[in-house]
């Protein structure tokens, strides 16, 4: 009962935040002069950081020295729950997110993604998925990073699922460094298929050193993909104390 009451409060507080943020983003976008919508994106990510603070989560950020916010990256992260989205906002990096088209249809939240200039992808349509990657390439060339969850969906057991080729092929083609990010603990923060939030817990966000695509060709996409996935799996095991 206590968990349900606490979760109801968190959802209501989150809804109130979003209801305030939608018109705020519209005003910011109205005065946005940068076609990349940098300021609008920054304010949307700020909402993510605020949202985590009304939750009983203690977010620990590590490895900030491993990236330069002024550089452009293909950022890839493992994916354990919906909580990963606001938690990743702790990385103050100008970026567009590649997100499932379903998220763009969510009331209130979807319009904010559109205002920010984030990129929808329909993974069930190869043609649309390819066009989304082309849009990601344009974003990178415009000097803005792109965020991917290469597993394509949330892991049910916390283990890292196989990665998609897309972000790694993109990094090779555009010659942009890959920034691996590890999230641990979020799977229990808001498990899939439930609306009940966890009690207080620790969530770790770890930025690993960038991986250069130099020396890889698009025919070696799988090699780069598995190398980066291995780095994320190894760090995840380290955080869990697994040898």
d(CA 53, CA 48): 9
- Across all residues in the chain, what is the average pLDDT? 93
Q: In what order do the strands lie in the sheet with 119-121?
A: 57-62, 201-207, 177-184, 73-77, 145-148, 95-100, 119-121
Residue 172: closest CA among 117, 209, 223: 223
Least confident of 2-6, 33-37, 156-160, 168-172: 2-6
Q: Taking a C-beta distance cutoff of 8 angstroms, is the pair 99, 65 a contact?
A: no
Domain ranges of the chain: 2-240
pTM, two decimal places = 0.93
Q: What is the dihedral of CA 182, 84, 81, 188, to 10 degrees?
A: 80
CA distances from 122 to 76, 83, 104, 126, 132 (A): 18, 22, 11, 8, 8
Record the tokens describing residue 102, joined without a space.
């379903």
Q: Taking a C-beta distance cutoff of 8 angstroms, is the pair 168, 224 a contact?
A: yes
d(CA 62, CA 57): 16
Whether residue 201 has pLDDT greater than 90: no
Phi, psi (rounded to 5 degrees) for 2: -60, -40
- The CATH number of 2-240, from 3.30.1330, 3.40.1130, 1.20.120, 3.40.50, is 3.40.1130
pLDDT tens digits along 125-176: 888 899 999 999 999 999 999 999 999 888 878 889 999 999 999 999 999 9
């Amino acid at each position: 009962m206590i968990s349900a009451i606490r979760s109801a409060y968190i959802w209501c507080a989150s809804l109130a935040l979003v209801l305030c943020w939608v018109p705020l983003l519209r005003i910011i976008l109205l005065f946005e002069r940068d076609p990349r919508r940098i300021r609008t994106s920054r304010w949307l990510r700020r909402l993510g950081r605020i949202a985590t603070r009304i939750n009983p989560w203690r977010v620990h950020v590590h490895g900030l020295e491993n990236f330069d916010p002024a550089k452009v990256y293909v950022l890839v992260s493992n994916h354990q729950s919906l909580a990963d989205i606001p938690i990743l906002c702790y990385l103050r990096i100008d970026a567009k997110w590649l997100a499932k088209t379903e998220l763009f249809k969510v009331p209130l939240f979807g319009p904010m993604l559109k205002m920010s200039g984030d990129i929808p992808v329909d993974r069930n349509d190869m043609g649309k998925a390819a066009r989304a990657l082309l849009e990601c390439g344009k974003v990178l060339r415009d000097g803005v990073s792109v965020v991917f969850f290469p597993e394509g969906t949330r892991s049910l057991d916390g283990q890292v699922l196989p990665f998609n080729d897309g972000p790694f092929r993109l990094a090779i083609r555009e010659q942009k460094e890959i920034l691996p990010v590890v999230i641990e603990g979020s799977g229990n923060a808001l498990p899939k298929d439930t609306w009940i939030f966890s009690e207080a817990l620790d969530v770790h966000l770890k930025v690993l050193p960038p991986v250069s695509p130099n020396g890889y060709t698009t025919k070696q996409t799988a090699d780069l993909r598995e190398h980066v996935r291995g780095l994320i799996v190894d760090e995840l095991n380290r955080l869990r104390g697994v040898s």
